[in-house]
Structure 1
Amino acid sequence: MEIPSAINSGLQGLQSARATADQAAADIVASTTSSNEPQNNSADNIEVNTEINNANSHAELPDLNQAIVNLKVAEFQAKASTEVIKSADDSLGTLIDVTA
């Protein structure tokens, strides 16, 4: 059994979970802020809002439900990766105790 690879696998899992959580958080923000933009009636703001609305109509907004599910998946992935690291650490401690 190779302990460093188990620890590295756990660390890679944590990094992947963080990336997934970051993307899910960005998707949640994008899907909630685009529909709640304040609407001002000045001439400059109407022109800017029209440009923003045109850009938003062409770009597909992320699905809020899927983003929340992805955030929960990232949470469980982080927990599992933490358990992998703990198990590798315990195994390493046991091996050191046996050989000492």
Structure 2
Amino acid sequence: MQIPPASVSGINGFNSAQSGLTQATIDVARSEPAQQSAELKAEAPDKTDALVKATQSVNQAEASAEVIETADETIGTIIDIKV
């Protein structure tokens, strides 16, 4: 099993966070019809849940940015030591 570089993991995490935030934004913005059948209400996303997922996605993006920054600093340190 090959372990990907930290920068790739950070970018993948950032992309995942972006997708999650996009979906949460769509769920929050989705309008609810005035009258819904019980079946449609079960399928409609909960706005509170969508807002929590949006916050989680923002936190994931911030953590992924830290991973990318740390990987960059580590590579810089390794290059400085080797030179």
Q: Please classify the TM superposition score into its range, dividing by the shorter chain length.
A: 0.7 to 0.9
Unmatched segments (≥5 aa) in structure 1 = 38-52
State the TM-score, normalized to the length of structure 2: 0.84
Tell me how far 1:19 sits from its aligned partner: 0.5
Query: Which residue pairs with 1:22 in the alignment?
Result: 22
CA separation in 2, counterparts of 1:26 and 1:62?
A: 10
Query: Which residue pairs with 1:85 in the alignment?
Result: 68
**How many residues were matched structurally?**
77
Note the aligned Cα RMSD (angstroms).
Answer: 1.6
Tell me how far 1:67 sits from its aligned partner: 0.2
Amino acid at match of 2:27: D
Aligned-partner SS, 1:94: helix
Q: Which has the larger radius of gyration?
A: 1
Amino acid at match of 2:23: Q
Query: Which residue pairs with 2:53 in the alignment?
Result: 70
CA separation in 2, counterparts of 1:96 and 1:86?
A: 15
Query: Which residue pairs with 2:32 in the alignment?
Result: 34
Unmatched segments (≥5 aa) in structure 2 = none
CA separation in 1, counterparts of 2:45 and 2:59?
A: 21
CA separation in 1, counterparts of 2:5 and 2:18?
A: 20
Identity of aligned residues (%): 38
